[in-house]
Amino acid sequence: MPGKRSPGPSVKDPERYEALRDEGMSKQKAARIANSDPKSMAHHRSGDGKYEEWSKDEIYAKAQDVGIKGRSKMNKGELIDALRHG
């Protein structure tokens, strides 16, 4: 990352973070994605089903992985919305 500022020690994958920022994502959303498990992200990207087809527990676990705050008080629809629009 020559010439770019480090995102800080809390970001697990700085290169992925910078690529997401270059695509126009907010700092918060880029950091959540850069810190998430790429295998769990592949489940959503690979077309293995839309969030509506997932169980609430699966959606909750995904929200936990990406750091959605207030998730314990959300219903399935609110969790889906938070994941999509983070």
pLDDT at 22: 84
pLDDT at 12: 83
CB 62 within 8 A of CB 83: yes
Q: What gap in Å lies between CA 63 and CA 83, rounded to an integer?
A: 6
Please report, for the chain, the start and end positions of each structural domain, with discontinuous segments joined by +: 14-85
Judged on CB neighbours under 10 Å (0-12, 13-18, 19+), 9 is exposed
pLDDT at 1: 46
Residues in the chain: 86
Helix then strand count (H, E) for the chain reads 5, 0
pTM for the whole structure: 0.47
Q: Using 50 as the pLDDT threshold, list the residues of the chain that sit under it.
A: 1, 46-48
